[in-house]
Amino acid sequence: MPGVEQSMQAFKADVMKREGYSVHPERPDDVKYEVAKELGVKLVPGYNGDLSTEEAGHIGGKIGGSMTRELIRLAQARLAEDERS
């Protein structure tokens, strides 16, 4: 779907900002480096083939978990709104 990737990047940036991370509006994916640093995982731009799947999962889980919680919150708010209508 056209425009979905850009919308998802904006959503990720908003969610991670609310989680307290500094997110560059032009490079929201860079938040993964801040998350990795917080978790003590050595993530660098470029090749990261030496990361274990567990380390990579911790980074992705922190970001994806925050996004999932926000999606659930939005869905619940929409359902509650629909019930009132």
pTM of the model: 0.78
Domain ranges of the chain: 45-85
For residue 56, the surrounding DSSP H or E stretch is: helix 53-84
38: helix, coil or strand? helix
How much is the mean pLDDT over the chain? 92
**pLDDT grade for 6, boundaries at 50, 70 and 90:** confident
CA 82 to chain centre: 27
Q: Is 46 left (phi over 0), alpha (psi -120 to 50) or beta?
A: left
CA diameter of the chain = 53
**pLDDT grade for 8, boundaries at 50, 70 and 90:** confident
Quote the pLDDT of residue 38. Answer: 95
**pLDDT grade for 25, boundaries at 50, 70 and 90:** confident
